[in-house]
Chains A and B, each alone.
Chain A
């Protein structure tokens, strides 16, 4: 359908961590935690990809691996044709100005000893060291004004701002180098609901204006529905479903997605009371020792014997929906 070539294309990305057992000897083999275990997706220019999944399913690790903040075990991350995982430090630094990140805890992501002017100027000074101080200051004022922070606040410190304002400052810092992709790692989960809406709307406006792509990580499905073009559902480091946002919410393909969507609260008490929530049995298995075959089978209501044998591949179900399930 889309003739454009993808901005970012991730293939078979694996991030494994070696975990040393308590009291282990130096020569005993370490356990391997497969935080991200073979993820594939494409991101088109101007698109928003929402990533959802419960805590510990590898959402943040995936984002950090794309940014090369944690080393990947295997796979490729093609950014406009260059494999980011193969680049040396110098070339990687060149690419960092094209992709920026927004963090979960707005206050913690700003250095408490620096003024917000210095914080927002840092990417600019790093990637364009030739700019004069007055040019830097003008750009900082401009971008702060854009995200709705009064530009005369540049000499203030992060602790003098509210959570929502801090997140706007975080967005300003990401925007100042005019990136093509912003990875938002749960940017609104630390904010209260009215502020969440403001920040989300700001992100969407800016995306429209600058033609940005966004990778939007969250565990709040309603927020993801509002902002995303497509949604990717992760479970234990595996993609269980990628789909157009509307399609995913209308007819979820994977039983896990179904369970997630049935758990979204409805802002209407009567509807909420009468709605049926699909409750999954058992707990999330340990990622140190994931189930064989389909990782979801231990909690799946429709699992059969073949699910324990082989891992279901992602297969196309039409309407831009890809599902990894043997049964559907």
Chain B
């Protein structure tokens, strides 16, 4: 009798179900949800692929070329418009620049610097801005007032003027650009993060954590920051092209990276100077990478915003 009763559980299918019920169920986090929505966004996914290709190009592009960024081809110099055209046969894929150097390698190297400035600048802004803003917002009261008034003061200084002054006084160098951009970029971020923190701070789960007795720093790290991250990520992807544009503008003014190194802004600046002499490729190649990259970041930022905050669509 007992055997008969036990029998159904011996059936393979029943047993399988019973085993599966005993296992831990895996939940689907909000992040997983967002990822699914992001992957379904075609423009954003195409942008991710294109951007990956551009990053790979900037990192490993020099492998398929036998030239470097600074060797001058004296045969071409002075005759770039006719002898320096882009050509697959002679290995100068993007032709020569005004000084007879290989443009392909210069674009590869310029992309690397511009992307680095964009990504590192945004990263500094995100880290400093998030910590600063979350602290001010969470502590509140007088500390918040002082911290945010400080941000207001920094913001009222025309930063392009400071940046130019910094580059003139301390000399042109890529580190100086990082410092100059990093000094100002976190200000907006800290304001956005503070605003978000204020609204999260009054949610009940933060109250619950306070009632439990969780230390303040753990509340900021475990409860506030993960809930801020959506906004921060979206803002950061939109900050990268902004950083690239700033660096380009500085380079365009002739204050950016030091020769022989270059960046998109510097290349564009050279390109515009010679566009009347029939060497349009000087402008076309860096411009292509510049525009495509910035578009990619904007599409990805849009995609992330839609994915992380479906209510706002």
Q: Is B25 within 8 A of A69, CB to CB?
A: no
Q: Is B208 in contact with A103, judged by CB distance below 8 angstroms?
A: yes
A67 to B209, CA, bound (A): 12
Selected from A92, A113, A155, the residue in CB contact (under 8 A) with B25 is: A155
Q: How far is it, in angstroms, between the C-alpha of A97 and the C-alpha of B214 when the chains are bound?
A: 11
Q: Does A30 contact B (CB under 8 A)?
A: no
Q: Check B212–A157 contact: CB distance below 8 A.
A: no
Is B212 a contact partner of A156 (Cβ separation < 8 A)? no
Chain A residues lying within 8 Å of B204, measured Cβ to Cβ, are 103-105, 108-109
Measured CA separation A123–B21 after assembly (Å): 28
Chain B positions within 8 Å of A198 at CB level = none
Q: Which of B24, B30, B205, B214 contacts A152 (CB 8 A)?
A: B24
How far apart are A221's CB and chain B's nearest CB, in angstroms? 24
Q: Of A105, A152, A157, which contacts B29 at CB under 8 A?
A: A157
Restricting to B200-230, which residues have a CB under 8 Å from any CB of A?
203-205, 207-215, 218, 222-223, 226-227
Contact B24 A155, beta carbon cutoff 8 Å: yes
Q: Which residues A168-201 have CB closer than 8 A to chain B?
A: 170, 173
| CA A123 to CA B210, docked complex, whole Å | 10
Known contacts: A126-B213, A155-B24, A157-B30. The answer to whether A113 contacts B207 by CB under 8 A is: no
Nearest-neighbour CB distance to chain B for A184, whole angstroms, equals 12
A1 to B: closest C-beta gap in Å: 32
Chain B positions 240 through 277: 1 when the CB is less than 8 Å from some CB of chain A, otherwise 0? 00000000000000000000000000000000000000
CB distance from B313 to the nearest CB of A (A): 18
Output the least CB separation between A17 and chain B (Å): 14
Interface size class of B (residues with CB under 8 A): 20 to 34
| Smallest CB gap from A109: residue in B | B204
Given contacts A96-B211, A96-B212, A126-B213, are A108 and B24 in contact (CB under 8 A)?
no
A-B contact count (CB 8 A): 84
Contact B227 A113 (CB under 8 A): yes
Is A152 within 8 A of B208, CB to CB? no
B310 CB–A CB distance under 8 Å: no
B28 within 8 A of A: yes
Q: Flag if B223 contacts A111 (CB, 8 Å).
A: yes
Q: Does A93 interact with chain B (Cβ within 8 Å)?
A: yes
Residues of B within 8 A of A104 (CB): 204
Verify B207–A109 contact, CB threshold 8 A: yes
Indicate whether B142 reaches chain A with its CB closer than 8 angstroms: no
Given the complex, which residues of B lie within 8 Å of A97, measured CB to CB?
213
B227 touches A111 (CB 8 A): yes
Contact for A160 among B23, B28, B207, B214, CB less than 8 A: B28
Q: Contacts A69-B210, A93-B213, A122-B214 known; A152 to B23 CB distance under 8 Å? A: yes
A160 to B32, CA, bound (A): 13
Contact A112 B24 (CB under 8 A): no
Interface string of B17-51 (1 = CB under 8 A from A): 00001111111111100000000000000000000
Q: Which residues of A contact B31 (CB under 8 A)?
A: 113
Contact assessment for A112 and B227 in the assembled complex, using a CB-CB cutoff below 8 Å: yes
* Bound: A136/B222 CA distance, A: 18
Inter-chain CA distance A170–B204, complex, in Å, is: 11
Looking at B22, B24, B203, B210, which has the most chain A CB atoms within 10 Å of its CB?
B24
In residues 51-92 of chain A, which contact B (Cβ within 8 Å)? 67, 69, 92
Residue of chain B at shortest CB distance from A99: B211
Q: Is A257 an interface residue (CB 8 A)?
A: no
Asked whether, in the complex, the Cβ of A155 is within 8 Å of the Cβ of B212, the reply is no
Question: Which residue on B lies nearest to A94, using beta carbons?
Answer: B213
CB-CB under 8 A from A226, the residues of chain B are: none
Q: Which A residues from 135 to 184 make CB contacts under 8 A with B? A: 152-157, 159-160, 170, 173
Complex: A100 Cα to B11 Cα, angstroms: 47
Question: CA of A23 to CA of B212 in the docked complex: distance in angstroms?
Answer: 37
Q: Is the CB of A101 within 8 A of B211?
A: yes
Min C-beta distance of B130 to chain A, whole Å = 15
| Contact indicator A110/B211 (Cβ below 8 Å) | no
- Determine whether A127 belongs to the interface, using a CB cutoff of 8 Å to chain B: yes
Which residue from A100, A103, A154 sits with its C-beta under 8 Å from B207? A103
Q: Which residue of B lies closest to A116 (CB)?
A: B27
Could you tell me the distance between the alpha carbons of A165 and B197 in the complex, rounded to whole angstroms?
A: 28
Find B211's partner among A69, A153, A155 (CB 8 Å cutoff): A69
Q: Are B212 and A111 in contact (CB under 8 A)?
A: no
Asked, given contacts A153-B25, A157-B30, whether A113 binds B226 with beta carbons under 8 Å apart, the answer is: yes
A207 at the interface (CB under 8 A from B): no
- A sample of 26 inter-chain contacts (CB < 8 A) reads A96-B213, A97-B213, A101-B208, A103-B204, A105-B204, A109-B205, A109-B208, A110-B208, A111-B222, A111-B227, A112-B30, A113-B31, A115-B27, A122-B214, A126-B212, A126-B214, A126-B218, A153-B27, A154-B24, A155-B27, A156-B25, A157-B28, A157-B29, A157-B30, A160-B27, A170-B208
Those 5 A-B pairs whose CB atoms lie nearest each other, nearest first: A156-B27, A96-B213, A109-B204, A113-B226, A108-B204
User: In the complex, given contacts A100-B212, A111-B227, A155-B26, what are 16 additional A-B residue pairs having Cβ atoms less than 8 angstroms apart?
Assistant: A69-B207, A103-B207, A103-B208, A105-B204, A108-B204, A109-B204, A111-B222, A113-B226, A114-B222, A123-B213, A126-B215, A127-B213, A152-B23, A153-B24, A155-B25, A159-B30
Interface residues of A (CB under 8 A from B): 67, 69, 92-93, 96-97, 100-101, 103-105, 108-115, 122-123, 126-127, 152-157, 159-160, 170, 173
